[in-house]
Amino acid sequence: MKNMKLMMVLATMTVAAVSCASKQETTDKTPKILVLYYSQTSNTKAVAEEIAGKLGADIEEIVPVNPYDGDFQATIARCKQEQEEGVLAEIQPIASDINNYDVVFIGYPVWFGTYAPPVAAFLNQTDLSGKKIVPFCTFGSGGLESSVKEMAEKQPQAEILPGYGVRAARMEAVSAEVDQFLKANGFLEGEYVQLEDFSELHPVNEEETAIFNAAVDGYPMLHAQAKAVASRAIAGGMEYLFTAEDLPREENSKMPPAGEIQVYVMVKDNENPVFTKVVR
Question: Taking a C-beta distance cutoff of 8 angstroms, is the pair 172, 163 a contact?
Answer: no
Is pLDDT at 15 greater than 70 in this prediction?
A: no
Q: How many domains does the chain have?
A: 2
Residues 118 and 250 in one domain: no
Report, as an integer, the average pLDDT of 176-194: 96
47: nearest Cα among 145, 151, 160, 135: 135
Q: What is the mean pLDDT of residues 230-247?
A: 96
In-domain check, residue 24? no
What is the pTM for the complete model shown?
0.87
Residue 17 lies in a domain: no
> 167 and 224, same structural domain?
no
Query: Would the pLDDT of 9 be above 90?
Result: no
Same domain, 229 and 143: no
Question: Is the model's pLDDT at 21 over the cut of 80?
Answer: no
Neighbour-count burial of 280, counting CB atoms closer than 10 A to its CB (0-12 exposed, 13-18 middle, 19+ buried): middle
- Please indicate, yes or no, if residue 82 is contained in any of the structural domains: yes
pLDDT at 256 over 80: no
Q: Is 222 domain-assigned?
A: yes
Least confident of 22-31, 47-56, 133-142, 188-197: 22-31
84-113 mean pLDDT: 96
Q: What is the DSSP string of 200-268?
A: --EE--HHHHHHHHHHHTT-TT--EEEEEEEEEEETTEEEEEEEEEE---TT-TTSPP-EEEEEEEEEE
Better pLDDT: 204 or 223 = 204
Distance between CA atoms of 22 and 18, rounded to whole angstroms? 6
Q: Are residues 180 and 209 in the same domain?
A: no
**CB of 114 within 8 A of CB of 150?**
yes
Are 42 and 80 in a shared domain?
A: yes
Last residue of a domain, one of 127, 157, 184: 184
Share of the chain above pLDDT 70, in %: 86
SS3 of residue 97 by DSSP: coil
Q: Are residues 70 and 175 in the same domain?
A: yes
Q: Which amino acid is at 274?
A: V
What pLDDT does residue 70 have?
79
Task: In whole angstroms, give the CA distance from residue 261 to residue 245.
Answer: 6
Nearest-10 crossing angle of helices 117-125, 144-154: 20
In DSSP terms, which residues pair with 231 in a beta bridge?
A: 240
Over the chain, what is the mean pLDDT?
89
Residues 98 and 226 in one domain: no
Q: Are residues 225 and 134 in the same domain?
A: no
Does residue 179 belong to any structural domain of this protein?
yes
- DSSP letter for each residue of 8-61: HHHHHHHHHHHHHHHHHHHHTPPPPEEEEE--SSSHHHHHHHHHHHHHT-EEEE
- Report yes or no on 229 lying in a domain: yes
Task: List the domain range (segments joined by +) for residue 259.
Answer: 202-279
- The answer to whether residue 275 sits within a structural domain is yes
Query: Residues 168, 138: contact at Cβ < 8 Å?
Result: yes
Is residue 165 assigned to a domain?
yes
The whole-number pLDDT of residue 253 equals 54
pLDDT at 94: 97
The three-state secondary structure class of 117 is helix
Output the domain CATH number for residue 162: 3.40.50.360
Tell me: do 208 and 180 sit in the same domain: no
CA dist., res. 48 & res. 36, Å (int): 8
Q: What whole-number percentage of the chain has pLDDT above 90?
A: 79
Least reliable range by pLDDT among 151-160, 198-207, 243-252: 243-252
